[in-house]
Structure 1
Amino acid sequence: MTGRLDPRGVRFAATVTTVVLAVVLLTGSGVLAALQAVVFAIPVVAGMRWSPYGALYRTLLAPRLGAPREREEATPVRFSQAVGLVFAAVAAIGYLSGATVLGIVATAFALAAAFLNAAFGFCLGCEVYGLLGRVRAAR
């Protein structure tokens, strides 16, 4: 089931993710990177409805904002969460194993993608999902 998401919730989640990843980058915390990886993994495995940051948005903000003007497909966002999961997991492994440069690089890539979504509404993972779909269709 694909479903449709409130884009404001997606941006809220990206904003929280941006803050968490900035803290990871500043502190070098492999444990925090691993926790962010878990946050990414939950909606990848169970569906976007179970996203921890999405639940925060639905509980704290959505009731105060009213219905969204538009909705977006969940599948590209879920793919984006999977990409974030890979980068956060690599970051956690890097920091926790002493390969700090690997942790920094992986965190920086994930942070850049989250920031693009939070600040500009540009979901890099969603764009990659669309590009992959066009490549598959062209075959």
Structure 2
Amino acid sequence: MQVDPRGQRFAAVVTTVVLLVVLITGSWPLLAAQTVVFALAVFLGLRSAPYGLLYATLVRPRLSPPTELEDPAPPRFAQGVGLVFALVGTVGYATGTTWLGIGATAFALGAAFLNAVFGFCLGCEMYLLIRRIAPRRGTT
């Protein structure tokens, strides 16, 4: 099932704000909550994730139908990348390894910001590059 790319951009805006607050406050519980959001998007799907539900309920009804839809695999992969960085950041902050928390959060923030402001999904591009480079199963 295809997804509305505007929903991904909305999620990136919310994620950008959350990660910015984490960097300002050093709040590992807030980063842990964002980690759960990423995990839900990866394991339950983009539409079932909290930001996807917010978009579908509050934003989407006020917009015209999307002019294009996209494959959910690249943005779901991007959420997985975000999950890894948020998990590392949470562990860093929670264990007092603040530099690790800041670094991992900053990388996740950079990727979310690119998508929120410019519509450039870094994780999606990584997914497409990996798909081009990696040999397909069943082919030699």
TM-score by length of 1: 0.96
**Among residues 119, 128, 131, which one is paired with 2:129 in the alignment?**
131
Higher normalized helix content (fraction of residues) = 1
Aligned-partner residue type, residue 45 of structure 1: F
SS in 2 for 1:73: coil
Structure 2: 5+ residue runs without aligned partners? none
C-alpha separation between the residues in 2 aligned to 1:49 and 1:11?
13
**Among residues 28, 31, 35, which one is paired with 2:29 in the alignment?**
31
1:84-137 CA-partner distances (Å, limit 9, x unpaired): 000001110000000000000000000000000000000000000000001114
Q: Percent identity?
A: 61
Aligned-partner residue type, residue 58 of structure 1: A
Task: Quote the RMSD (CA, aligned, Å).
Answer: 1.1
C-alpha separation between the residues in 2 aligned to 1:95 and 1:101?
8
**Among residues 56, 60, 65, which one is paired with 2:63 in the alignment?**
65
Query: 1:19 deviation in Å?
Result: 0.1
Alignment partner of 1:41 is 2:39: yes
Alignment partner of 1:81 is 2:106: no
TM-score by length of 2: 0.95
